[in-house]
Structure 1
Amino acid sequence: MHSNIDHLLDLHEIYHEADINDFIRGREILAKYPDAKRIEVRSHNDIPELFGFSGSAGDWLWNKKNVLILGSKKALQARPNSRSSHWIAPSQSNGCAMSCSYCYVPRRKGYANPITIFVNIEKIMGYLERHAGRQGTKPTSDEIDPKYWVYEIGENGDCSIDATICNNVKDLIKLYTRIPNGKLTFATKFVNRDLLGYDPQEKTRIRFSLMPHKISKLVDVRTSPISERIAAMNDFAAAGYEVNVSFAPVIYYDNWLEDWRDLLMELNDSINEKTKQQLSTEIIFLTHNQGLHDVNMLWHPKAEEALWRPEIQQVKYSQTGQRNVRYKNNIKREIVGQLVDLCRELIPYCQIRYAF
């Protein structure tokens, strides 16, 4: 059963670096989309007509749907992480076809940030295999995983959608079945049932992002409906994935907790014992950004009514000097506690890795 991607991707233009035909994956992708106009560029992250296009909100969704960028990943580095993985792997892609209005990634290639696929996947995989080899056996169990070093491969995009374009994700899932001390993980908002045939052998942890239906319909633009994500979880567990959930971002609004109660009850009623036994989550409350708010006001102002709440948010400057906002400390403490308590009441089997 193939996933319906047509409403999300209909590629008309492929921007590519000059040496794209030197890579098997580059040739495969070009052959798959023979009718797309090809535009050669110096570098995948230096495209003047896409870059810095924050004012061009009218083109936002067009770029997401119709533009693909192909390049090779130059600097390979696994960055230490301490939350849902031990390492952030070098990306096999960047950008996304979906348009979640809270997403912090769209800062390059014009805020629309269409998908970039990195075609030097063999080099990325070789790096990851050597990196895992240097780590040796994981000495102790921790809240990330009892046994394996966990590598995040989807920090800058959604691997379920990337997998409809090429086999990068399939290749990585296969790679980790033979890395004895590692497993990979990614979060997703798109149900791609083609992944059920990848035989991950319990070495891939897929995290389905969930939030209440009402708020998801407002802010999760062009994603799979929440009920569809929940309905897929047992199938993914049966296919050999470790299935987790990700409650992120949690958005505070009137009656938010009642909506979460409904969601958690639906989750509990939908998943079977096998899925329940492996379930873990991370709970991350919304952080928003002044620049993103300004752009959203041009293309999706309705969402900003829920995301931009100056009366209950405080400014926090990021390490890069961005003006971010998140819920005020006293409110945040209370609402984090409320949601954690609700999870313990309704899905007590679900381990909470962290909540903030």
Structure 2
Amino acid sequence: MHGNAGSVEDWVRIKRSTLVLGVKKGLTSRPNGRSAHFIAPSSSNGCAMACAYCYVPRRKGYANPITLFVNTEAIGRAITRHAAAQGPLPAPDQIDDRYWVYDIGENGDLSVDALACDSVRDLVGLFRDIPNAKASFATKFVNRDLLAYAPQAKTRIRFSLMPERIARVVDVRTSPMPERIAAIDAFVGAGYEVHANFSPVILYEGWEEDWRALFRALDAGIGPAAKAQLKAEIIFLTHNAALHDVNLQWHPKAEALLWRPDIQETKRSEGGMENLRYRTGWKGRWLARFKALLAEELPYCGVRYAF
């Protein structure tokens, strides 16, 4: 399916109907230093959801269904060996106070993967037993089956949140924002560390008012236990010209929000791709305004990472 431009016409149908099975070849944990200390070898790639800004299609060509890797035991052994070689975390840092953190869902959404396989349950169990490390993954889907996985505070779930009216345009086939917020207390009660991903922050007329409303909904929707452990990542939108061209063929309405060359500039990513990000200088000012708004509305929510 890779590189088949014609499949863009069936972008969402492919996600509904296609499951790819494969063997993960590269089992290396890569340094990260932002959201996590390391990016673990992925147990999956691709997604059944269809967020218009997702970076994975940039690498996979036009079709981007779920690919599940069947050698999860080998992936687990590789993670265990890597963590053992690290020893204890030398000192608390912006990523975590006690543990090395491994992002186990870089290229997919594990809450959705868990509908199709047991690899997510296995990974949560794996980190429960690794003494010096914890798992982390971001999600836009509420799968309450994960509440039975008994993570014992060794898995961090980052619920991605954005203003609801924008999510209805760009977060295609995901759980509604009120459902994500309503799930946070249950996941904290089940033993997960639950953080918020304010991501992506998309700039448009009225964005600050919409984010204020979201922060207030979050504050009203979670209890004291969730608030006491809540931290956040803030990630401003990164877009891509090739993905823009694809999106115009299946979801042009989203591109009116995502494609803003008047306030974006081209920048080469760490992976060597040419992406569009909000302009240097201006982005710093917008980020400062976002953080000030967050501090005003959710003063108990620290910022672990902002980009």
Q: 1:331 deviation in Å?
A: 2.2
Cα 1:320–1:281 change in 2 (3 A) is closer
Question: For residues 37-57 of structure 1, what are the alpha-carbon distances to aligned partners after superposition, in whole Å with 9 as ceiling and x for unaligned?
Answer: xxxxxxxxxxxxx11023432
Q: 1:319 deviation in Å?
A: 4.5
Question: For residues 202-230 of structure 1, what are the alpha-carbon distances to aligned partners after superposition, in whole Å with 9 as ceiling and x for unaligned?
Answer: 10000000000011001000000011000
Counterpart-to-counterpart distance in 2, 1:143 and 1:109: 32
1:74 maps to which residue?
25
Question: For residues 71-108 of structure 1, what are the alpha-carbon distances to aligned partners after superposition, in whole Å with 9 as ceiling and x for unaligned?
Answer: 11112100001111101000000000000000011135
> 1:101 pairs with 43, 52, 62, which one?
52
TM-score, structure 1 normalization: 0.85
2:158 maps to which residue?
207
- Greater CA drift, 82-91 or 53-62: 53-62
Which residues in structure 2 correspond to 1:29-68 (within 5 Å)? 50-68=1-19
1:6 maps to which residue?
none
Q: Does 1:312 align with 2:263?
A: yes
Counterpart-to-counterpart distance in 2, 1:169 and 1:107: 25
Counterpart-to-counterpart distance in 2, 1:335 and 1:178: 41
Question: For residues 152-192 of structure 1, what are the alpha-carbon distances to aligned partners after superposition, in whole Å with 9 as ceiling and x for unaligned?
Answer: 00000000000010100000000111100010000000000
1:136 maps to which residue?
87
2:286 maps to which residue?
335
Does the 8 A contact of 1:276 with 1:350 survive in 2? Answer: yes
Q: 1:315 deviation in Å?
A: 1.3
Q: How many residues align?
A: 307
Q: Give RMSD over aligned pairs.
A: 1.1
> 1:83 pairs with 34, 43, 63, which one?
34
1:259 maps to which residue?
210
Task: Give secondary structure in 1 for the equivalent of 2:156.
Answer: strand
Q: Does 1:184 align with 2:135?
A: yes
Counterpart-to-counterpart distance in 2, 1:300 and 1:289: 15
Counterpart-to-counterpart distance in 2, 1:137 and 1:334: 37
> 1:225 pairs with 153, 176, 184, which one?
176
Q: 1:274 deviation in Å?
A: 0.5
One-letter amino acid of the counterpart of residue 248, structure 1: S
One-letter amino acid of the counterpart of residue 279, structure 1: L
Cα 1:321–1:86 change in 2 (3 A) is closer
Cα 1:108–1:68 change in 2 (3 A) is farther
One-letter amino acid of the counterpart of residue 260, structure 1: W
2:113 maps to which residue?
162
TM-score, structure 2 normalization: 0.98
Q: Does 1:270 align with 2:227?
A: no
Task: Give secondary structure in 2 for the equivalent of 1:205.
Answer: strand
Q: Does 1:352 align with 2:293?
A: no
Question: For residues 100-135 of structure 1, what are the alpha-carbon distances to aligned partners after superposition, in whole Å with 9 as ceiling and x for unaligned?
Answer: 000011135532311110111111111111111111
2:43 maps to which residue?
92
Q: 1:320 deviation in Å?
A: 4.9
2:191 maps to which residue?
240
Task: Give secondary structure in 2 for the equivalent of 1:348.
Answer: coil
Counterpart-to-counterpart distance in 1, 2:65 and 2:44: 10
Q: 1:355 deviation in Å?
A: 1.7
Does the 8 A contact of 2:2 with 2:63 survive in 1? Answer: no
Does the 8 A contact of 1:247 with 1:284 survive in 2? Answer: yes
State the identity %.
59
Counterpart-to-counterpart distance in 2, 1:177 and 1:322: 36
Counterpart-to-counterpart distance in 2, 1:119 and 1:318: 30
Counterpart-to-counterpart distance in 2, 1:55 and 1:315: 27
Q: Which protein shows a greater Rg?
A: 1
1:285 maps to which residue?
236
Q: 1:139 deviation in Å?
A: 1.3
Unaligned runs of 5+ residues in structure 2 are none
Unaligned runs of 5+ residues in structure 1 are 1-49
Does the 8 A contact of 1:176 with 1:203 survive in 2? Answer: yes
